[in-house]
Amino acid sequence: MNATPVRPGAEAVAGKGWLAAHKWLILRRSSQIGILLLFLVGPWFGIWIVKGNLNFSYTLNFLPLADPYVIVQSLAARQVPEKLALTGAAFVVLFYLLVGGRSYCSWVCPVNLMTDLAYWLRVRLGLKGSAHISRPTRYWMLGMTLVVAAITGSIAWEMVNPVSMLHRGLIFGLGLAWAVLLAVFLFDLFVMRHGWCGHLCPVGAFYSLIGKFSLARITLPARAACNDCMDCFAVCPEPQVIRPALKAIDGTAPLILEANCTNCGRCIDVCSKDVFAFGSRFNTTVAPVTGVPHPAPK
């Protein structure tokens, strides 16, 4: 149905203007790069706003923030971290309970910049075909990292985790980590569409567990206006999360409650009908679909 070579979002650009059709993308890139820069101005220019890396950081010698996933691995390896790390992890869990678990992936994680580039290039080069690994594999990966931590008694996944390897590498020196990251990039580019972030990464899987209960959600206040252009599906890194809410399957409220929605907001950008908006998980009172009911897609 979408055989025209028009790029996703073209209709939105024509309707809303380029800036409005890229608003959330620009904000998101600014957030990703901005957070990275906050960590980097210390070692680069001696301006110490944030010390450490995404595993644990100390902001202005005041705010501790710890990656709860690393803390959980440490606990699995039978070490109870001290209060500062536990406090930091609690802050982070609370924060993502507010803004959406996998917002970490789309607004903070530096690997996302890389894998998004791989996806963009994949589309640009017209690379079709993709290896099949089911999306729940990431939960097996998550379980595996915890089992390995328990068996080896060490935070084993941190030795190979591309996410912390990239972030730590940029701040403290990459070494051969670039080879691991290149492997992830090439995997996403040639082997599998949204391969790493969408199917395998246990960090994302962990944050999606927080995302099950989080407050900020993509809502679809105007889902009746959907003209089936499929642009949102084309840009969404987790397109399976859209369908139930957009098509009101089984009476689903106009609200994406799926844990793996990354709250990237790209669907809001590319929709020329302004179907999507940011809201909260309690925005269920929007009027039900009033237009012609859509037949459930096969």
Binding residues (CB under 8 A) for other proteins: these are 42, 48, 51-53, 55-58, 64, 66-67, 70-71, 74, 77-79, 81-82, 84-85, 88, 133-134, 136-137, 140-141, 144-145, 147-149, 151-160, 164-165, 168-169, 171-177, 180
Q: Shortest distance, CB of residue 285 to other proteins, whole angstroms?
A: 37
Q: Which is nearer to other proteins, 109 or 264 (CB)?
A: 109
- Name the β-bridge partners of 56: 53, 66
Between the CA of residue 111 and those of 25, 37, 104, 293, what are the distances in Å?
16, 15, 11, 40
Which H helix or E strand runs over 242? helix 242-246
Q: Which is nearer to other proteins, 112 or 164 (CB)?
A: 164
Q: Shortest distance, CB of residue 91 to other proteins, whole angstroms?
A: 12
Q: How far apart are CA 153 and CA 159, in angstroms?
A: 13
Q: How far apart are CA 89 and CA 70, in angstroms?
A: 9
Q: Shortest distance, CB of residue 188 to other proteins, whole angstroms?
A: 17
The phi and psi torsions of 41 (rounded to 5 degrees) equal -65, -20
Q: Which is nearer to other proteins, 36 or 246 (CB)?
A: 36
Q: Which is nearer to other proteins, 15 or 153 (CB)?
A: 153
Q: Exposed, middle or buried by CB within 10 Å (0-12, 13-18, 19+), for 112?
A: buried
Specify whether the CB–CB gap between 122 and 188 falls below 8 A: yes
Q: Which is nearer to other proteins, 95 or 278 (CB)?
A: 95
Q: Shortest distance, CB of residue 39 to other proteins, whole angstroms?
A: 10
Q: Shortest distance, CB of residue 224 to other proteins, whole angstroms?
A: 33
